[in-house]
Structure 1
Amino acid sequence: MKKILVLVFLISSMSYSQILDPVKWSTSIKKVSNLEYDVIIKASIKPKYHLYSLKVPKGGPLPTVFIFEDSEDYELVGKMTEDKGHTAFDPVFELNVKYFENVASFKQRIKLKSKKALKVIGEIEYMTCNEESCVPGYDDFEIAIP
């Protein structure tokens, strides 16, 4: 009986977490020069939710984090950048926090080490909140560079 209750709990938790999926991610690339590209990762955020910045103050929410898989085919140039967003006092964390509503765009420049086709692979860790709750999120990305 215990196993059945645990199974029911896990299934209901999984289906509940699938309902709370307030961010959809998309990717694109923009050629900057013969060997440099901008990897653009865009978040589409459901109404009434917000996504936190790459940089948040200590004691605040979880930041948005992009982890690029190590590769011998390219190197990251500089740090990831983000849209301007909004900075406002967050009563939950009692801090001024930068966040995004509706859409957010993040950009990472890469430099190819050769001219062969390759894939840029990585992970996204993030947190979105509305007035009632916060939802941690995780997603993978893969971008082909011809």
Structure 2
Amino acid sequence: MGTRRNAPHGGGRPPGRFVLWREVLIAYAAPALTAGAGGLASGRQDLTVAALTSIAGTSALVAALTGARLRRAGIRPRRAASLPKAVLAAGAALMAAVVAAGAVHLAVQGLTVWPAPFPSGSPWPGRLRLDVPLSAALAAAIITWRWRGATHGVR
């Protein structure tokens, strides 16, 4: 008879520590490598550049902000422990995506008022509308999931 996959602390082991700087580093490196590899494989230079900037940068920033908020116990461990991990992560992802989409909308609108740093016909304003909210949602969900796993059982 095996151990339950979702058993607290993985069969008697204490949960791993939530180390924010490592989480942020991985939040940058993982999408930079995967999206960058996709851009190289497909020959899309815009995706390769976006992998290192708007995709990975957003992911790292959202991971840092979300992780710092969770570590300060903005969500009390007792209350968070009562929610299923998936519900907590999905809520964080939804909030991050909405905030990021709003920020991108305002930023892209601002580009029409002030001189744009992008050449005419550039795909960047359109890329940002997809890259930033998607990266924010993924980073928030993963950080929340990992934080919840590391703090499960903390009272």
TM value normalised by structure 2: 0.27
* Greater relative contact order, per chain length (Cα 8 Å cut-off, separation 6+): 2
More strand, by proportion: 1
TM-score norm. by structure 1 comes to 0.29
